[in-house]
Structure 1
Amino acid sequence: MLALDKELEARLGLELATKRQEHTDLDAAIRTLLASGIADATLIQRLKKRKLALKDRIVQLERIILPDIIA
C-alpha cells in the first residue's frame, strides 16, 4: 500500500473529523425527534439511512488513514 502524502492525509483527516461530527449531530437529532413523540417516521428513516451512510464513510476513511499493520 502506498503511503499517503501529507496533504492527502490532512484532507482525509479533516473529512473524517467532519463526518464524525455530522454523525454525532445526526444521532442527537434522531434521539430528540424520537423523544418528541411527534416525529415523522419517514423523516426518521431518512435520517437513520444518512447516519448509516456516514458510518460507512467513517470506517472507509479510518481504513485509509490507519491501515491494518500486519506484525
Structure 2
Amino acid sequence: MMMKENAMNKLDKLKNEQKTLEETILTLLKTPLCDQLAIQRLKRRKLQIKDEIIKLRARLIPDIIA
C-alpha cells in the first residue's frame, strides 16, 4: 500500500512539473527574442516527464486483457 501511495505522490509531482514546464515554454515562446536552445531543453524534459507518467500509470493500473 505504501508503494502505491508513493507512486501516486510521484505521479502528482510529475503532473505538476509538466504543467509548469508547459506554462514556461508558452511564456518563452511569446517573448520576441526567445532562447530556442532553452525551449528545446524544456520540451525534452517535458517529454521525459510524460514517459515517466506513462510508466507510473502502467504500474498503478495493470493492463487487463479480457
Structure 1, unmatched stretches of 5+, are 1-5
Q: How far apart are the structure 2 equivalents of 1:55 and 1:35?
A: 23
Q: Which residue of 2 aligns with 1:36?
A: 31
Structure 2, unmatched stretches of 5+, are none
Aligned residue pair count: 66
Q: How far apart are the structure 2 equivalents of 1:37 and 1:16?
A: 34
Runs of 4 or more consecutive aligned structure 1 residues displaced over 4 Å after TM superposition: none
Q: Which residue of 2 aligns with 1:61?
A: 56
Shift of 1:38: 1.8
Alignment-mate amino acid for residue 17 of structure 1: D
Q: Which residue of 1 aligns with 2:42?
A: 47
TM-score by length of 2: 0.95
Q: Which residue of 2 aligns with 1:20?
A: 15
The share of aligned pairs that are identical, in percent, is 38
